[in-house]
Structure 1
């Protein structure tokens, strides 16, 4: 068959092009979606790079909710592996399949008992026995965790998927220069190094760095807002998230620990939730804050009797991009926190135990 070619040589003007071509779709993504894609691509680069930069802390979760088809085409091939693991490529085959996120009854938050609850929590923190890590020692944290894996694939808009509950252990030197992470199924077998020469900041604090922070709640909160300016969805949400990150896998001096809670109580939108359950199934009282953009509420859970920190939870409280209210997007529980004499050593043992 002979292919026919156009004899028209003069160029088409804009009007003719607009008439002949189909109307373009709207390629614009919301700021949240742009951030999501950026995090996906950066995580994939870290995952496949020959010598990935070590992670100094748990990355804040990225929600994969209602991604447009054009965006899904970019990240769909690695959406599950990117959001379920942060280690090398060796983790891909061993990563457990995600499970459907649990749905719970949403408890109403209130400011009625905020001041008294925070004072009880701060008092417990300031009077608690906090071990002082010395040279050569490590801060050990054992947690049970489940983070968002992927939310709503193109073929199924009715389910939100999370990691199965699993154990995560970290070891961090007081100066933040040496560390180890063991998270079977989500990191290479045996764990990964967290060694780094990066200077400690609020986004990646060492114990020594935390000792330099002000213990006056107002001064502390002012510094948190200043250091996190321009990050996250809003200044208030970022401040709350920053304090929450310090509670998970770090050891703070008792006086600073109390100041962190008193500072958090001054963040607009913080409420008390009377009932919340951590990843270990322990029920307690919570301090919580709602992310107005994503519609989920982050809850820090405390023992109702002793007011010691138990863990955290993120619950969707507003219908957003097909995520059902009450969906639990994230759960953590601190099972053990101690100072040990060697990297990979567990409390009650001698030498390396991993």
Structure 2
């Protein structure tokens, strides 16, 4: 299979470039190569400083360069970032997810029905043992909780939020397990530890509007955010602190996606915006999150100690969830531990608690 066929497989809805255009491109390239060619072997001078220059024979150079011309014409119709962005593999996954999102219809919520958003989440938790100033230390474990949010067809009507108890579930030592059990018993009256059922018009629980990300009200963001990927990415960056790491930009995109109420056009734009973030890569093609398997797209934090991932179902473009992965072993968590993760499922139901 040649390069053009491979690229067509990547996006089957992209038509062929006109033969005349291909011919002109090839002719210009061949003329340039012929004029610049010297009898000695050619050196690729744009290689990174850390990579030794690679020398090719003239025939190999012409063949690969011609393939790049063909590929460049077709790829331009898929995505052409204005600057450095995600790796080619990650950009392909994200752009395909955006296309699948548009093809997948949003759930239709009729009168008297609700969009039910089931969220399972894991968080790191811990307590201090003794006074840190006198040699005390802390122990940590992972808590797990489940939430069920019922969103009415009319978003201004009453939302219902059933929060299950937050329970310690994963321990890396017997000492942590004992500390977690004691702490759980001491928090018997805390709604976070016991669960609660909340109701609020417009989803304004605790008297605050629900947020899309970075302090942006949900309804305002869904209505007003740009659908152009670069403009959307610029907006997300501007709402954060100046100089913050790009990992936080991906975290904000994940925060918007996990609300479960972002319409398809904005979800697609968020995926395409993520494809423009430098440092985003494919980290796992078979990522299992809460029993669901998808493709994990991630970016390391500047300290190289943690990585933020979003996991996408490639068949429909839906977000499976997100996670924060420890890359270096710490006092409690081994390397590779997801110290925080969230999985999301949506469905339409006819009643609510």
TM over 0.5: yes
Relative distance call for 1:136 and 1:242 in structure 2 (3 A) is farther
Deviation readout 1:122-147 (Å, 9 max, x if unpaired): 11111111136689875430122212
Relative distance call for 1:321 and 1:294 in structure 2 (3 A) is farther
- Say whether the 8 Å CA contact 1:151–1:161 is kept in structure 2: no
Deviation readout 1:229-280 (Å, 9 max, x if unpaired): 35xx824122111111111123112111111011011112211112454442
Aligned with residue 227 of structure 2, among 215, 231, 248 = 215
d(CA) in 2 for partners of 1:201 and 1:287?
Answer: 20
d(CA) in 2 for partners of 1:119 and 1:327?
Answer: 28
Aligned with residue 251 of structure 1, among 261, 273, 276 = 261
Query: Is the aligned partner of 1:127 residue 2:103?
Result: yes
Q: 2:311 aligns to what?
A: 301
- Say whether the 8 Å CA contact 1:114–1:272 is kept in structure 2: yes
Local SS of the residue matching 1:113: helix
Aligned with residue 280 of structure 2, among 267, 270, 273 = 270
d(CA) in 1 for partners of 2:236 and 2:110?
Answer: 27
Local SS of the residue matching 1:234: coil
Q: 2:290 aligns to what?
A: 280
Q: 2:21 aligns to what?
A: none
Query: Is the aligned partner of 1:192 residue 2:172?
Result: no
Query: Is the aligned partner of 1:168 residue 2:147?
Result: yes
Query: Is the aligned partner of 1:313 residue 2:323?
Result: yes
d(CA) in 2 for partners of 1:299 and 1:223?
Answer: 21
Please give the residue correspondences for 1:1-354 in structure 2 after superposition, counting only pairs within 5 Å. 111-131=87-107, 139-150=115-126, 160-164=140-144, 166-172=145-151, 175=155, 178-186=158-166, 187=191, 189-193=195-199, 194-195=203-204, 196=207, 198=209, 202=213, 203-207=215-219, 209-230=221-242, 234-275=244-285, 277-293=287-303, 295-319=305-329, 323-338=333-348, 347=349, 349-350=350-351, 353-354=352-353
d(CA) in 2 for partners of 1:183 and 1:278?
Answer: 24
d(CA) in 2 for partners of 1:262 and 1:290?
Answer: 19
C-alpha RMSD of the superposition: 3.3
d(CA) in 2 for partners of 1:181 and 1:221?
Answer: 30
Relative distance call for 1:152 and 1:304 in structure 2 (3 A) is farther
Local SS of the residue matching 1:120: helix
Deviation readout 1:293-337 (Å, 9 max, x if unpaired): 482212111225444321222210134566431112022222334
- Say whether the 8 Å CA contact 2:140–2:332 is kept in structure 1: no
d(CA) in 2 for partners of 1:183 and 1:197?
Answer: 17
Query: Size of the alignment, in residue pairs?
Result: 230
Q: 2:188 aligns to what?
A: none
Q: State the structure with more CA Rg.
A: 2
Pick the structure with more helix per residue.
Answer: 2
Pick the structure with more strand per residue.
Answer: 2
- Say whether the 8 Å CA contact 2:104–2:316 is kept in structure 1: no
- Say whether the 8 Å CA contact 1:271–1:287 is kept in structure 2: yes
d(CA) in 2 for partners of 1:309 and 1:185?
Answer: 24
- Structure 2 unaligned spans of 5+: 1-85, 131-135, 167-190
Relative distance call for 1:190 and 1:199 in structure 2 (3 A) is closer
- Structure 1 unaligned spans of 5+: 1-109, 339-346
d(CA) in 2 for partners of 1:220 and 1:205?
Answer: 16
Aligned-residue offset at 1:290:
1.8
Relative distance call for 1:304 and 1:138 in structure 2 (3 A) is closer
Local SS of the residue matching 1:214: coil
Aligned-residue offset at 1:151:
7.7
